[in-house]
C-alpha cells in the first residue's frame, strides 16, 4: 500500500511531456511544382510532401498535434501566390500553433551548389524562439545528413552546411508562432539527386524529427 501511494505521488509529481501543435508546410503544390532535379525524377512539391507526411506520422506517434498545410498535391490558392502563402501562415493563428516548419528543396543553375540552409523570419515576433528552433533543426541536419554526403560540421571547404539565415519569406514572416523554413538539399546537384533517388528521404525525416523534439525539450511554450 505504501508502495502504491509512493507511486501515485510520483506520477502526480512528474510533469507530463508537453504536447505541441505543430504545423508542417510542404512547400508549393498544385500548379506550382517548385524546382526539380536534372532528370526531373525529383519534383520539389512531391518530395516536400513525402517528407512532411513521414515527419507528421512520427510526431503524431510522439503525441503531438500535427497539421499539414496540404496533404495532397494542391495549392491553397491556385491563382494567387501571395494568397497561397498567406493562407499557409494563417493556419498558425487558426490552430494556435506552437511551431511552424516549412519544408523546401533548393535548385540552382550552378549544378555544383549543394547543402542545406535553415531560414528564420527577418522581422520576427519570436526572434529567440525561431532561432532556437532553427538551431535545433540545423544541429540535427548537420549531424544526421551531412556526414552521409561526405561533409561534416567542421567549417571545412567540403562542408554542406550553409547555415542559419534571416529572410523575408512571406510564409514564415506571417506566422504567429516560432517559424522556420528549411531548404533541405539542392536537388539540382546530380550527386544529391542520385543519392536521394537511391536512398529516399529518411535521413531528412529523422533529422527534422530530432530537431523539433530537441527544440521542444529545451523551450517552454509561448
Ligand atoms: Zn521551394
- Count how many Cα atoms sit within 13 Å of the Cα of residue 127 in the half-sphere of its side chain: 4
Query: 126 CA distance to ligand 1 centroid (A)?
Result: 23
CA torsion, ordered 199, 203, 205, 211, to nearest 10 deg: -170
Q: Is the dihedral of CA 107, 196, 214, 98 positive or negative?
A: positive
| Beta strand pairing call for 179-186 and 99-106 | parallel
| pLDDT value for 113 | 87
**Can you say how many angstroms the Cα of residue 16 is from the centroid of all Cα atoms in its chain?**
25
- 95-131 pLDDT, tens digit each: 999 999 999 999 999 998 888 899 999 987 888 999 9
| pLDDT value for 154 | 47
Q: Is the model's pLDDT at 137 over the cut of 80?
A: yes
| pLDDT value for 9 | 52
User: Is residue 113 assigned to a domain?
Assistant: yes
| pLDDT value for 72 | 97
Q: Is the model's pLDDT at 180 over the cut of 80?
A: yes
| DSSP state, residue 78 | S
Query: 29 CA distance to ligand 1 centroid (A)?
Result: 10
* CATH number of domain containing 173: 3.40.630.40
- Structural domain including 187 reads 25-218
User: Is residue 53 assigned to a domain?
Assistant: yes
Query: 9 CA distance to ligand 1 centroid (A)?
Result: 50
User: Is residue 60 assigned to a domain?
Assistant: yes
Query: 128 CA distance to ligand 1 centroid (A)?
Result: 25
Query: 125 CA distance to ligand 1 centroid (A)?
Result: 23
User: Is residue 5 assigned to a domain?
Assistant: no
* Res. 145 pLDDT band, cuts 50 70 90: confident
> 52-61, 70-79, 194-203: which has the minimum mean pLDDT?
194-203
- 199-215 pLDDT, tens digit each: 999 999 999 999 999 99
Percent of the chain scored above 70 by pLDDT?
86
Query: 184 CA distance to ligand 1 centroid (A)?
Result: 10
Number of domain units in the chain: 1
Query: 21 CA distance to ligand 1 centroid (A)?
Result: 23
**Average confidence (pLDDT) over 164-172:** 91
What radius of gyration do the chain's Cα atoms show?
19
Q: How far is residue 202's CA from residue 104's CA, in Å, rounded to a whole number?
A: 15
73 compared with 168, residue with greater pLDDT: 73
- Give residues whose Cβ lies within 5 Å of ion ligand 1: 27, 34, 104
Query: 69 CA distance to ligand 1 centroid (A)?
Result: 14
Query: 5 CA distance to ligand 1 centroid (A)?
Result: 55
Q: Is the model's pLDDT at 59 over the cut of 80?
A: yes
| pLDDT value for 142 | 85
User: Is residue 37 assigned to a domain?
Assistant: yes
User: Is residue 125 assigned to a domain?
Assistant: yes
Query: 92 CA distance to ligand 1 centroid (A)?
Result: 19
Q: Is the model's pLDDT at 49 over the cut of 70?
A: yes
116 with 185: CB under 8 angstroms? yes
| pLDDT value for 1 | 53
Query: 98 CA distance to ligand 1 centroid (A)?
Result: 23
User: Is residue 107 assigned to a domain?
Assistant: yes
| Cell matching residue 219 | 523551450
User: Is residue 104 assigned to a domain?
Assistant: yes
Q: How far is residue 30's CA from residue 41's CA, in Å, rounded to a whole number?
A: 17
Query: 7 CA distance to ligand 1 centroid (A)?
Result: 50
Amino acid at each position: 500500500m505504501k508502495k502504491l501511494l509512493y507511486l501515485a505521488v510520483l506520477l502526480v509529481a512528474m510533469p507530463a511531456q508537453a504536447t505541441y501543435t505543430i504545423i508542417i508546410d510542404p512547400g508549393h503544390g498544385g500548379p506550382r511544382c517548385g524546382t526539380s532535379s536534372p532528370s526531373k525524377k525529383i519534383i520539389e512539391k512531391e518530395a516536400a510532401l513525402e517528407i512532411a507526411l513521414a515527419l507528421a506520422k512520427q510526431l503524431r506517434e510522439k503525441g503531438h498535434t500535427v497539421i499539414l498545410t496540404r496533404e495532397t498535391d494542391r495549392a491553397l490558392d491556385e491563382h494567387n501566390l501571395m494568397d497561397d502563402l498567406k493562407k499557409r501562415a494563417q493556419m498558425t493563428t487558426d490552430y494556435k500553433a506552437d511551431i511552424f516548419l516549412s519544408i523546401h528543396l533548393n535548385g540552382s543553375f550552378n549544378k555544383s551548389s549543394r547543402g542545406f540552409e535553415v531560414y528564420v523570419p527577418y522581422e520576427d515576433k519570436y526572434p529567440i524562439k525561431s532561432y532556437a528552433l532553427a538551431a535545433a533543426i540545423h544541429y540535427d541536419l548537420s549531424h544526421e545528413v551531412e556526414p552521409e554526403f561526405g561533409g561534416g560540421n567542421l567549417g571545412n571547404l567540403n562542408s554542406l552546411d550553409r547555415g542559419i539565415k534571416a529572410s523575408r519569406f512571406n510564409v514564415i514572416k506571417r506566422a504567429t508562432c516560432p517559424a522556420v523554413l528549411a531548404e533541405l538539399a539542392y536537388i539540382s546537384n546530380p550527386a544529391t539527386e542520385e543519392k536521394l533517388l537511391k536512398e529516399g528521404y529518411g535521413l531528412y525525416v529523422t533529422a527534422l524529427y530530432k530537431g523539433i523534439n530537441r527544440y521542444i525539450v529545451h523551450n517552454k511554450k509561448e
